[in-house]
Amino acid sequence: MINVTAGHPFSEELLSHTQYKRLSGLINKVCYKLSSYQKDKVANNCSHNITSYADYCLTTPEIEAEMQEVVQLVLHNSNDDIHSDIKQTFLTIAKSFYYAAYCDHGTINFHIAKVLFDRVV
């Protein structure tokens, strides 16, 4: 289970907030599916198009629908929302798992090297 407070005080009120509980549960589900997808992809040499073995691997549309729900919950603003920093932290976690699940290690290492070592002009 992921617990995210984005530097805000850790309180029972925050943990019992309806939106926090919804985001936390959804992020946990999405990250678990992405992790399973990544493991299955590696174990079966699966490509990005997983329709040929949909009975074995989690389907991309399933993960995509839940990722869209995460984005909608994070971007939706109302008066009783949790702090936007907390919502953005949830989204950052989901994007990190998504990136790791869909990109191979070489691509990730290349992107890290570009960020760390290439000059910005």
DSSP labels, 28-90: HHHHHHHHHHHHHHHHHT--S--GGGTTTSPPHHHHHHHHHHHHHHHH---TTPPPHHHHHHH
Residue 92 lies in a domain: yes
Residue 7 lies in a domain: no
Determine the residue type at 55.
Answer: D
Which of 59, 60, 76 minimizes the C-alpha distance to 22?
Answer: 76
Q: How many domains does the chain have?
A: 1
Residue 4 lies in a domain: no
pTM: 0.71
Are the C-beta atoms of 68 and 30 separated by less than 8 Å? no
Are the C-beta atoms of 101 and 36 separated by less than 8 Å? no
Question: pLDDT per residue over 73-112, tens digit each?
Answer: 999 888 878 888 888 988 999 998 888 888 888 888 898 8
**DSSP tag of 120:** P
Residue 2 lies in a domain: no
Residue 5 lies in a domain: no
Residue 46 lies in a domain: yes
Neighbours of 42 (CB within 10 A): 11
pLDDT at position 55 is 41
Residue 63 lies in a domain: yes
pLDDT at position 56 is 43
Task: Show the domain range for 17.
Answer: 12-117
